[in-house]
Structure 1
Amino acid sequence: MTKGRITWSGRERLGLLRVKDDALVLRAMRRPDEIHDPAELLPPPVRVSDEEVEGALAPVDTMTVDELEGPEFHDRHTEAVAKIIEATREEKPLPKAPEPEQPARVLDQMAALQESVTKAKASRGEDTGPAEVHELPAAKKKMSAKKQPVRKTGTKEKTTARKTSGRRPRSA
């Protein structure tokens, strides 16, 4: 066992180096101000009634299943991977993926939104005609400070030094 100082994360610490089996083990020692009382991390005690405990456990009880058997618990993924491994091992063509049981239903979101708006208007007693669509205003083009045109005036204006961030204006 050897004591020493080590630098770790930019901070000097005390360390303890020792041999354990066939390895060297370095243990970083902590100073008393680095050690916190674990009681500080505990939440404050709270009184809970039996009804509250039963209410919290009720959803867990309804979702609990005693036996994991049946078609909904059949592991088709592991079975498919095993078939692929077996086909690769025997250098046979890979099995084809099964067709989905039900074709995917494509949902027209604009039609669904229009139907939802129509139902909402009907429930409020409003006109259920098609929704009004407004064109968006054209975006304004912004010019950068460098590209803005220089204004020329016919009168001579007095020029003053602009305020800058702590720098002095250049002298000629």
Structure 2
Amino acid sequence: MPRPLWAGAISFGLVTIPVKIVSATEDHDVHFHRVHLTDMGRVRTRKVCELDGEVVSQDEIGKGYEIAKGETVPVTDEELDQMPLPTAKAIEIAAFVDADSIDPVRISDSYYLAADGQVAAKPYTLLRKALERSSKVAVAKFAWHGRERLGLLRIREGAIVLHSMKWPDEVRSPDELAPREVEVGEDEIKQALQLAEQMTIADLSGFHDEYREALEGIIASKAEGKPLPSPAEDGKPEKGEVVDLMAALNASVKAAEESRGERGENATVHEMRPSKKTARKAPAKKTAASKKSTASKKTAAKKRSAS
């Protein structure tokens, strides 16, 4: 299990669940060092006091809040730990809401909550099953990195996940960013929906970080003294170029169909000719033999009736 980042408890009404917080994600980014280009020596950042110009060690660094120009109030970690907040050492569940009511723009970092000890197993399972059956998510408050935060609790593969969230006043309004209202044709909307349908996939497992792979390729080439990979061609239109939206949508739909292996030829419709009605055959003419046979039958019938 990854190293715990925090230890405390979930407060669920009168139920207390001891938990540890571990990160739910990993950083796979390629990190660069700052170097001196002349000799490739590492460039270090020194923490210097602006008043006496002396380099300060980590033990001599603390927190302070500037209340006025030149006047700073020091605040210690002990004072922060002793703040009169119920969320100082607990993740306090405040409410339950429908998952659809949470705007994704408010969701920030993600963490797993691990049961801390055997005593936490039963209440942890109780909360997990309650969240699973209710199909809701829990909204909680907790203290983290020197401030109180809003959190979201949900279930992922049998584990309780904590998502830190932005407060409502931390989310900017997009009103000024939306473009002016323009008219879009119904055919264009239908074509866009068709493109979205063609691009629909079942899951995201096939995605990978192509930028990181390309960056690692550049580093490997330079380390081995090989030529750098050729840059990818930019097929996007230049800024200011007018694009036929409908033509672009049609081309996009066609490309999406080809990428999914749907290259079937267009069906050809042939006009069907009307079928000729079959002429009714005229009844066959009676022959002499048939006339004689009919006359004989009539004579025999008369004799039977006379007798």
- Measured against the shorter chain, the TM-score band is under 0.3
Bigger share in strand? 2
Structure-1-length-normalised TM-score: 0.28
Q: Say which structure, 1 or 2, has more relative contact order (CA 8 Å, 6+ apart).
A: 2
